[in-house]
């Protein structure tokens, strides 16, 4: 068990956003988190890394290999962020710094967390870009994010997230902003990296098609609660909870494999 | 696809069009001329600005282009040397208020909550007073000298920068790459410095350029009122003030006044141009007009 979230509750300005979420992520497994907008999927991701909006209250427990993250002092939390838990966002157009080269964005936190030299960090950056299949990685390092297409940018964002070899990757709707063919590529990449590097991936998505393609386990959230958790095939084929059934039935062609 | 209008390549690509406008050209030319005069005044000026050995109140003529004042000093030389006093001080003043106001505003916008409340209420406090009067009060309290006048203007000038910076930082702070920077484990300071500040510098620089005129006006205003430069030093505001005493000899007050006017005008043109160049909407409008 790499990351264990137990009874996570978040209140923002008197409103209950999460009402007791339990999730467990394991190394080498992709855990899908589904649910409608506003059900607390993204909040779960942000709460794990302690980056909630001002004025929010968090209770419960988030343990990374037995280490409690919620009560960690800011300095140690900064070590965990990026170093052990990384996050990929929905829109790669906005999640990369527009004024820094790809190479700089890839190497800066690497040098910060791993304390490696400039040359070594650069080498690793090229290696990473190759791993996420960016053509011409050496040259790509010198370019800026706007010079890449959406799918390429998301690959770069994934490379940035993976640079310090984290144990947990939280992917918050990583394919929603991409078109379908690019989606498949990015998902295959995520799955491959998960198997290859033994990452624990939390894949947040509202797209059950995406879910069925890559997730090992599936959890369904509604109104800040996890209503159903189980292996993908069981949850998608024989859903227990009525809400999961509604969700499945609301798919345009109502068929999931 | 969303593009950040201020990002990277935009600046050099859009600059020429906006800089080719007549106002921009005249702004650049006048400002450059004044900078040259400020640097080369000791060599350019025909007389010693402090020497009182010329005929008193001589009208402008081939001998003394701008005439002489009531103490027999050459007005042209004094105006030229005045550039050495006013322009560097104004620039330093704007740079300092940019630094102080920008830093405070960035902290207020980025950290929010009590930091924001404290800094912005302080700024409101300064805003609540009329600028000139507050600057006068501060200068009078500190004692009349150029340094104190600069400090006084600094006290009233920083809140404008703080406000603008805070607003811009509030907008940028919510962008995802700032969040993702934090999630990569960088400290808040690094995030503010690397992720946020480069994205807000454009508009603030425009404000600073436009503010050079205002700051010069305020600084000479204080000198005019006797709260800035001490008598012998050739400062434009003080020269206008002494010229008012001999109103019949119009040249004593007019030429330093014209100096202030041209510098303020030139930097306002520069500021407008910079804004046009950095704002994609006006940049497009200029391009369309040009076609």
pLDDT tens digits, one per residue of A68-99: 888 888 788 888 887 888 888 888 778 888 88
Q: What is the DSSP letter of B94?
A: H
Distance CA A180, CA A172 (A): 17
What's the mean pLDDT when you consider all of chain A? Answer: 82
CATH number at residue A36: 3.40.50.300
Whether the per-residue pLDDT at A213 is higher than 70: the answer is yes
Q: ipTM surpassing 0.85, yes or no?
A: no
Count of A-B CB contacts under 8 Å:
73
Token digits of residue A151: 């799918």
Assess contact for A25 and A201: CB atoms under 8 A.
yes
Which site among A77, A90, A94 would you substitute to test the B interface, given the most B Cβ atoms closer than 10 Å to its Cβ?
A94
Q: Does A159 touch chain B (CB under 8 A)?
A: no
Instruction: Please give the residue of chain B at the shortest CA–CA distance from A77.
Output: B185
Shortest distance, CA A228 to any CA of chain B (angstroms):
28
- Are B185 and A109 a contacting pair at CB < 8 A? yes
Percentage of chain B beyond pLDDT 90 is 17
Structure confidence by residue, pLDDT tens digits, B205-251: 888 988 898 899 988 888 888 888 877 888 888 888 888 888 788 88
Residue A257 in domain: no
Cα B212 to Cα B268: distance, rounded to the nearest angstrom:
8
Position B8 scores a pLDDT of: 46
pLDDT of residue B287: 64
Confirm or reject contact between A54 and chain B (CB < 8 A): yes
DSSP state of B66: T
In the three-class reduction of DSSP (H, G, I as helix; E, B as strand; rest coil), residue B8 is classed as coil
pTM value is: 0.74
Nearest CA distance, A11 vs chain B (angstrom): 18
Enclosing H/E stretch for B103: helix B75-111
* Cβ A94 vs Cβ B175: under 8 Å: yes
> Does the residue A59 lie in any domain?
yes
Number of domains in chain A: 1
Task: Output the pLDDT for position B119.
Answer: 92
Can you tell me the distance from the alpha carbon of B74 to that of B68, in angstroms, rounded to the nearest whole number? 5
Q: Would you say A124 and A50 are in contact if contact means Cβ atoms under 8 Å apart?
A: no
Does A43 lie at the interface with B, CB-CB under 8 angstroms? no
Chain A residue with Cα closest to B195: A97
In degrees and rounded to multiples of 5, residue B260 shows phi and psi of -60, -45
Instruction: Extract the tokens encoding A64.
Output: 């990374």
Model pLDDT for residues B28-51, shown as the tens digit of each residue: 999 999 999 888 888 887 878 777
| Interface contact flag, A86 B183, Cβ < 8 Å | yes
Residue A43: inside a domain: yes
Mean of pLDDT values over A197-203: 86
End-to-end, the C-alpha distance of chain B in Å comes to 27
Nearest CA to B272 out of B32, B20, B11, B27 is that of B27
Q: Kindly state whether A83 is in contact with chain B, defined as any CB-CB distance less than 8 angstroms.
A: yes
A residues 8-37 lying closer than 8 A (beta carbon) to B: none
Question: Of A162-171, B10-19, B87-96, which gets the smallest average pLDDT?
Answer: B10-19
B166-205 pLDDT per residue, tens: 998 888 887 878 888 877 777 788 888 888 888 888 888 8
Q: Which residues pair with A63 in a beta bridge?
A: A4, A68
Predicted confidence band of residue B98 (pLDDT cuts 50, 70, 90): very high
Alpha-carbon torsion B33, B34, B39, B44, what sign? positive
Percent of chain A with pLDDT over 90: 0
Has residue B2 got a pLDDT over 50? no
Q: What is the DSSP string of chain A?
A: --EEEEEEEEEETTEEEEEEEEEEE-TT-EEEEEE-TTSSHHHHHHHHTT-PPTTEEEEEEEEETTEESTT--HHHHHHHBTTTEEEE-S-HHHHS-TTS-HHHHHHHHHHHHH---HHHHHHHHHHHHHHTT-SSHHHHHTS-GGGS-HHHHHHHHHHHHHTT--SEEEEESTTTTS-HHHHHHHHHHHHHHHHHHT-EEEEE-S-HHHHHHH-SEEEEEETTEEEEEEEHHHHHHS--SHHHHHHHHTSTT----
The yes or no reply on domain B13-37+88-290 and CATH 1.10.3720.10 is yes
Q: Is the pLDDT of residue A140 over 80?
A: yes
**Residue B253: strand, helix, or coil:** helix
Cβ contact, residue pair A86, B194, below 8 Å = no
- What radius of gyration do chain B's Cα atoms show? 22
A207: Cβ contacts below 8 Å, ≥ 6 apart: A175, A176
Quote the pLDDT of residue A126: 87
pLDDT digits (tens, 9 = 90+) for A46-75: 888 877 777 788 888 888 887 888 888 878
Range of the structural domain that residue A209 is part of: 3-249
- Taking an 8 Å cut-off on Cβ atoms, the answer to whether B183 and A97 are in contact is no
pLDDT at site A80:
83
Residues B38, B217 contacting (CB under 8 angstroms): no
In this predicted structure, the answer to whether residue B97 has a pLDDT above a threshold of 70 is yes
**So where are chain B's domains?**
13-37+88-290
The pLDDT value recorded for residue B6 is: 46
CA geometry: angle A198, A48, A27, nearest 5 deg? 15
Query: Is residue A236 a part of any domain in this protein?
Result: yes
**Which pLDDT value is given to residue A1?**
63
Nearest to A181 by CA among A206, A151, A213, A136: A151
Cα-Cα end-to-end distance for chain A? 28
Q: Which pLDDT value is given to residue B5?
A: 47
More confident residue, B63 or A226: A226
pLDDT at residue B282, rounded to an integer: 62
Least confident of A135-139, A169-173, B8-12: B8-12
Residue A37 lies in a domain: yes
B68 three-state secondary structure: strand
Phi-psi region of A165 (alpha: psi -120 to 50; beta: other; left: phi over 0): left
Tell me which chain A residues have a C-beta less than 8 angstroms from the C-beta of B183.
Answer: 49, 51, 81-82, 86-87
- pLDDT value of residue B118: 92
CA distance A105 to A97: 8
Report helix, strand or coil for B74.
Answer: strand
């Amino acid at each position: 068990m790499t990351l264990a979230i137990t009874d996570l509750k978040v209140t923002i300005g008197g409103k209950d956003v999460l009402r007791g979420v339990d999730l467990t992520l394991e190394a080498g497994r992709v855990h899908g988190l589904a649910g409608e907008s506003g059900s607390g999927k993204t909040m779960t991701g942000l709460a794990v890394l302690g980056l909630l909006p001002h004025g929010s209250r968090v209770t419960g427990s988030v343990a990374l290999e037995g280490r409690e993250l919620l009560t960690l002092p800011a300095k140690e939390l900064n070590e965990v962020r990026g170093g052990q838990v990384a996050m990929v966002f929905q829109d790669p157009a906005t999640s990369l710094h527009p004024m820094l080269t790809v190479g700089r964005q890839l190497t800066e936190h690497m040098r910060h967390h791993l304390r490696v030299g400039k040359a070594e960090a650069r080498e690793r950056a090229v290696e990473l870009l190759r791993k996420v299949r960016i053509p011409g990685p050496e040259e790509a390092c010198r370019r800026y994010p706007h010079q890449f297409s959406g799918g390429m940018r998301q690959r770069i964002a994934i490379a940035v997230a993976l640079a310090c070899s984290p144990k947990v990757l939280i992917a918050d709707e990583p394919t929603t902003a991409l078109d379908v063919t690019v989606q498949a590529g990015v998902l295959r990449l995520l799955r491959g990296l998960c198997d290859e590097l033994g990452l624990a991936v939390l894949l947040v998505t509202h797209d059950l098609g995406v879910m069925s393609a890559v997730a090992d386990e599936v959890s369904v959230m509604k109104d800040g609660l996890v209503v159903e958790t189980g292996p993908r095939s069981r949850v998608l084929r024989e859903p227990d909870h009525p809400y999961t059934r509604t969700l499945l039935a609301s798919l345009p062609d109502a068929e999931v494999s | 696809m969303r593009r950040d209008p201020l990002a990277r390549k935009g600046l050099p690509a859009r600059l020429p069009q906006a800089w080719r406008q007549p106002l921009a050209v005249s702004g650049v030319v006048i400002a450059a001329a004044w900078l040259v005069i400020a640097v080369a005044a000791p060599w350019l000026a025909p007389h010693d600005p402090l020497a009182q050995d010329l005929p008193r109140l001589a009208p402008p003529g081939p001998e003394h282009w701008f005439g002489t004042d009531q103490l027999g000093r050459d007005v042209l030389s004094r105006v030229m040397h005045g550039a050495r006093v006013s322009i560097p001080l104004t620039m330093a003043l704007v740079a300092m208020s940019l630094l102080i106001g920008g830093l405070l505003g960035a902290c207020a916008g980025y950290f929010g909550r009590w930091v924001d409340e404290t800094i912005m209420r302080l700024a409101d406090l300064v805003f609540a007073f009329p600028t000139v009067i507050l600057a006068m009060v501060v200068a009078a309290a500190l004692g009349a000298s150029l340094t104190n006048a600069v400090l006084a203007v600094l006290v009233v000038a920083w809140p404008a920068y703080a406000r603008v910076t805070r607003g811009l930082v509030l907008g940028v702070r919510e962008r995802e790459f700032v969040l993702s920077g934090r999630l990569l484990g960088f400290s808040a300071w690094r995030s503010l410095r690397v992720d946020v500040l480069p994205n807000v510098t454009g508009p603030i620089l425009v404000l600073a350029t436009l503010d050079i005129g205002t700051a010069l006006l305020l600084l000479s205003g204080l000198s005019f009122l006797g709260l800035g430069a001490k008598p012998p030093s050739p400062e434009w505001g003080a020269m206008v003030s002494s010229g008012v005493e001999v109103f019949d000899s119009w040249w004593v007050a007019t030429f330093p006044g014209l100096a202030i006017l041209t510098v303020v005008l030139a930097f306002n043109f520069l500021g407008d141009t910079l804004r046009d160049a950095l704002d994609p909407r006006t940049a497009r409008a200029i391009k369309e007009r040009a076609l």
